[in-house]
């Protein structure tokens, strides 16, 4: 069996997979071209097109992240090979920490205090009950559910949205276009954890951002394509003319890294982090990949992604 790994920390992956499969040849994508031929499995994150194009007998591709958008857009991706992805792999907890931080940032007026500090202003802000701070979570896959559950445990009313109907204890679930509008009209903070697909492109556009109540905030740890950045900037307005969106915490962008001259960098009510909300914890991810390869080899059923749906 031949496994090829392509990711930043490829050496650690190579070592762990070689230990789990002592009879296998485990290579990184930096191996010479002739050695890279005829792999059985690719375990990849943002693989170069040539690595996919040169394979002839793959049994499976393992995407070393939760989002398969990059992989599905890579030229040369063989359409008939099953693709699996990391499912949660510890990312839920990290994502939930990030989102909870963001919700508390706005809920406890940390944005106001940061602005007040600039002016040496000592002015406590009111604290409303958490029951008055509904949070909307768009995307109820494994990670979205985890986040919704943590927000519920923290005491916030949680409204969840997914394309198809779902039922989750403690979460008021909405679906479809009408459901999205209904949810947006009620939440103080909206969190986007959807995959990047044709159907989710600019799901928060000017029309939908306008449905959020005055003073609502936006947290995007999902994918940059989910939000129309220009529309968000307009909805945020400027300090002299504030718009109806109070602020945003953004981890992902339409172009990454966010270009130096992008107006989001300069916006006083936008917090920017560099796509770090939920880095995949290595040991959990390795365990999942080992389990996937064992299942493929044993002919057991695995949950593959649906390339048409994009997740």
Residues involved in catalysis: 223, 275
Query: Cα separation of 2 and 42, whole Å?
Result: 9
Q: Where are the alpha helices (DSSP H) in the chain?
A: 10-20, 33-36, 49-53, 69-72, 91-107, 110-118, 142-153, 176-184, 206-209, 229-236, 263-266, 282-298
Short-list 221, 285, 233, CA closest to 264: 233
Q: Which is nearer to ligand OXD, 20 or 142 (CB)?
A: 142
Rounded distance, CA 172 to CA 291, Å?
34
CB of 64 to ligand OXD, least distance (A): 8
CB of residue 238 vs ligand OXD: minimum separation in angstroms? 31
Q: Is 269 helix (H, G, I), strand (E, B) or coil?
A: coil
Q: Min. distance of Cβ 211 from ligand OXD in angstroms?
A: 27
Least CB distance to ligand OXD at residue 294 (A): 22
Query: How far apart are alpha carbons 100 and 222 in whole angstroms?
Result: 14
Of 96 and 278, CB closest to ligand OXD: 278
d(CA 244, CA 276): 27
What tokens does 196 get? 């990047």
Nearest residue (CB) to ligand OXD, 130 versus 275: 275
Burial of 138 (0-12, 13-18, 19+ CB in 10 A): buried
The residue (of 64 and 135) whose beta carbon lies closer to ligand OXD is: 64
Nearer to ligand OXD, 180 or 278 (CB): 278
Q: Find the shortest distance in angstroms from Cβ 174 to ligand OXD.
A: 24
Pairing of strands 2-6, 41-44: parallel
* CA-closest candidate to residue 219, choices 152, 128, 115, 138: 138
- The contacts of residue 211 (CB under 8 Å, 6+ apart) are 181, 184, 185
Of 228 and 251, which has the nearer Cβ to ligand OXD?
251
Binding footprint of ligand OXD on the chain (CB under 6 A): 65-67, 278, 280
CB of residue 129 vs ligand OXD: minimum separation in angstroms?
34
Distance separating alpha carbons of residues 111 and 176, to the nearest angstrom? 32
């Amino acid at each position: 069996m031949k496994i090829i790994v392509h990711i930043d920390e490829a050496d650690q992956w190579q070592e762990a997979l070689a230990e789990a499969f002592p009879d296998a040849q485990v290579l990184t994508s930096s191996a010479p071209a002739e050695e890279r031929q005829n792999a059985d499995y690719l375990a990849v994150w943002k693989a170069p097109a040539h690595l996919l194009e040169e394979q002839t007998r793959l049994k499976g591709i393992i995407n070393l992240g939760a989002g398969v958008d990059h992989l599905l857009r890579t030229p040369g991706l063989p359409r008939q090979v099953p693709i699996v992805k990391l499912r949660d792999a510890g990312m839920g907890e990290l994502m939930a920490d990030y989102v909870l931080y963001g919700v508390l940032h706005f809920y406890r007026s940390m944005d106001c205090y940061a602005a007040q500090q600039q002016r040496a202003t000592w002015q406590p802000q009111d604290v409303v009950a958490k029951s008055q701070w509904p949070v909307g979570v768009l995307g109820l896959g494994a990670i979205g559910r985890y986040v919704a559950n943590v927000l519920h445990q923290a005491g916030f009313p949680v409204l969840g949205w997914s394309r198809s109907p779902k039922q989750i204890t403690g979460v008021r679930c909405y679906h479809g276009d009408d459901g999205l509008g209904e949810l947006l009209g009620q939440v103080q903070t909206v969190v986007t954890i959807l995959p990047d697909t044709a159907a989710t492109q600019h799901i928060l556009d000017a029309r939908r951002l306008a449905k959020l109540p005055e003073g609502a905030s936006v947290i995007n740890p999902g994918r940059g394509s989910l939000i129309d950045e220009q529309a968000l900037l307009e909805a945020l307005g400027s300090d002299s003319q504030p718009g109806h969106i109070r602020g945003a915490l953004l981890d992902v962008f339409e172009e990454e890294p966010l270009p130096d001259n992008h107006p989001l960098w300069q916006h006083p009510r936008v917090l920017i982090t560099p796509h770090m909300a939920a880095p995949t914890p290595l040991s959990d991810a390795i365990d999942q990949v080992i389990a996937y390869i064992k299942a493929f080899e044993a002919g057991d059923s695995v949950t593959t992604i649906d390339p048409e749906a994009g997740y």
